[in-house]
Amino acid sequence: MALPAPCRDVPLCWYAGPRWRPTLLCAGGSYREAAVVNGLILLGFIALMLALVVARLRRRVGMPVTGGIMAMTVAVIAIAILILWATSSR
């Protein structure tokens, strides 16, 4: 059974090498890049969860909640978390 050719066009992929060990980022990346991707996914998840809490609080108070308000809340929370991370890692 022939192995598939490594993907060159897709930056993030799982390619089973000759010994069927999964290698991350077959286009010349590293495990650090994979950790950054995982961190960004976690950041987005935390920002989305906090935005849902803010939306629920706004509804409880009687204020409208729209898609634009949700997007702005997610963006502000993500930027705030990134600022806190950047200042703590100096």
One digit per residue, pLDDT tens: the chain, 90 residues? 555 555 555 445 555 555 544 445 555 556 666 777 788 889 999 999 999 999 999 999 999 999 999 999 999 999 999 998 888 876
Q: What is the predicted pLDDT for the residue at 71?
A: 94
Nearest residue to 78 via CA among 37, 41, 35: 41
Contact between residue 2 and residue 10 where contact means Cβ atoms under 8 Å apart? no
pTM of the complete model: 0.59
Coil, strand or helix at 60:
helix
Contact between residue 27 and residue 11 where contact means Cβ atoms under 8 Å apart? yes
Residue 48 neighbours by CB under 8 Å, 6+ apart? 74
